[in-house]
Amino acid sequence: MIKENLAEVHKNIEAACARAGRRPEEVTLISVSKTKPVSALLEAYEAGERVFGENKVQEINDKYPQMPPDTHWHMIGHLQRNKVKYIVDKVDLIHSVDSLRLAQAISEEAVKKACDVNILVEVNVAEEESKFGITVDNTLSLIKEIALLPRIHVQGLMTIAPYVEDPEENRTIFSILKKLSVDIAKQNIDNICMGILSMGMTGDYEVAIEEGATMVRVGTGIFGARDYNV
Ligand SMILES: *Cc1c(COP(=O)(O)O)cnc(C)c1O
């Protein structure tokens, strides 16, 4: 089933790219495998997927040694400062940096381990109280501060859009994030790149791609519904 789901998701990504006049290579699919067993990840791996998204440090650490070495890991969930040390040298990208204190912790750990860490700044575009992320208005100033820290590199922006029945309702959210990234890119800040726009999940990734997403984070659409009671 996972293989078929992946084929469907890739087809949808291609169609969304075609509608937007974009190339499918511009969009990276992140298979969000949180709560799923390694057997499910391996099925996706066999189908050709290499990029997996997890939202818990513990889960990345558990699964990391069990997957082939060319597996790429993305931390997409809220990250506590005291857990940074367990993942900085394991993940390609941390999508969820929303404070200077967290960025400082990542930078310090990266210096200690002599590695470079790529991050995205998480923006709470919809300003939902239940969500992490910095406001649109505060994003530029945070980025300017992170830019000065050693061994941490902002590569773009991420947002988690609200859960909606009709994905069209999130189109404005995605276009606001795109505009913000274009505005920040124009500032030409040293050590800041705005190449990545991580937005869109199972319910709305096609709309997100139409609005400029370069990374979509799809879980349910690949692995099926999650069971949090196991
Ligand atoms: C769980 C999760 C996803 C995937 O959600 P689906 O609706 O299952 O596709 C994407 N992004 C983040 C940050 C998540 O925590």
Residue identified by tokens 């859009």 is 161
Q: How far is the CA of 218 from the centre of ligand 1 (A)?
A: 6
pLDDT of residue 130: 84
Of residues 129 and 74, more confidence is placed in 74
Locate the domains of the chain by residue range.
2-222
| pLDDT tens track for 173-189 | 999 999 999 999 999 99
Which residue's alpha carbon is nearest to atom 6 within ligand 1? Answer: 219
What pLDDT is recorded for position 230? Answer: 58
The verdict on the CB of residue 76 being under 6 Å from ligand 1 is yes
What separation in Å is there between the alpha carbon of 141 and the centre of ligand 1? 27
Residue 220 Cβ < 6 Å to ligand 1? yes
How far is 130 from 215, CA to CA, in rounded Å? 23
CA of 195 to the centre of ligand 1 (A): 21
Pocket probe for ligand 1: among 55, 159, 227, the residue whose CB has the most ligand atoms within 8 Å is 55
Q: Is 216 in the pocket of ligand 1 (CB under 6 A)?
A: no
10 has pLDDT over 70: yes
In ligand 1, the atom with minimum distance to the C-alpha of 76 is: 13
Nearest CA to ligand 1 atom 13: 76
Range with the poorest average pLDDT among 6-15, 127-136, 157-166: 127-136
- For residue 228, the model assigns a pLDDT of 79
70: pLDDT confidence band, cut at 50, 70 and 90?
A: very high
- Ligand 1 pocket, residue 217 CB under 6 Å: yes
Ligand 1, atom 11, residue with closest C-alpha? 217
Give residue-wise pLDDT tens across range 205-220. Answer: 999 999 999 999 999 9
Question: Across residues 144-171, what is the average pLDDT?
Answer: 97
Task: Please check whether the domain covering 2-222 is classified as CATH 1.10.357.10.
Answer: no
Among protein residues, the one whose CA lies closest to atom 10 of ligand 1: 217
**Average pLDDT value for the chain:** 97
217 alpha carbon – ligand 1 mean position (Å): 6
With 80 as the cut, is the pLDDT of residue 18 above it?
A: yes
Pocket residue to mutate for ligand 1, from 36, 201, 209, 227, most atoms within 8 A of Cβ: 201
What does each C-alpha distance from 103 to 40, 67, 134, 158 come to in angstroms? 32, 28, 13, 15
Q: Note the pLDDT of residue 91.
A: 98
Q: Is 160 in the pocket of ligand 1 (CB under 6 A)?
A: yes
What mean pLDDT do residues 157-164 have?
A: 96
Q: Is the pLDDT of residue 138 over 70?
A: yes
Does the pLDDT at position 227 exceed 90? no
CA distance 114 to 155: 19
Length of the chain counted residue by residue: 230
131 band by pLDDT with thresholds 50, 70 and 90: confident
* pLDDT surpasses 90 at 114: yes
What percent of the chain is modeled with pLDDT above 70?
99
57 to 85, 87, 117, 150, 211: CA distances (angstroms): 10, 7, 16, 23, 30
Instruction: List Cβ neighbours of 182 (8 Å cut-off, separation of 6 or more).
Output: 194
Tokens standing for residue 18:
């075609």
pLDDT over 80 at 47, yes or no? yes
Q: Is the CB of 99 under 6 A from ligand 1?
A: no
